[in-house]
Amino acid sequence: MEHNPCLFLALTCILFMAQHCLAAPSADDLAKFGEMERSIRELASSILALSGATAGTRSDVPNRVWPEELQA
């Protein structure tokens, strides 16, 4: 019995796709992850608001550039 290489390739692809689908997280897990991400963002925002800072900026830290980098 001669085996067709295309049949082997197709079965291998189906096997890998099935494994990928089984490894995917469930919709419930994704919803919980989204809720956790929102909670972390809200917590970080409230901590920044309490400290008087804004996200992404730090005006109290001087610009730390080496003089060699400025000569480029």
Q: What count of Cα atoms within 13 Å lies in the side-chain half-sphere of residue 12?
A: 6
d(CA 15, CA 22): 11
Residue 52 and residue 46: Cα distance in Å, rounded? 10
Q: What is the pLDDT along the chain (72 residues), one digit of tens a residue?
A: 577 888 889 989 888 888 777 667 788 888 888 899 999 999 988 888 888 766 555 555 555 656 665 555
Contact 48, 55 (CB under 8 A): yes
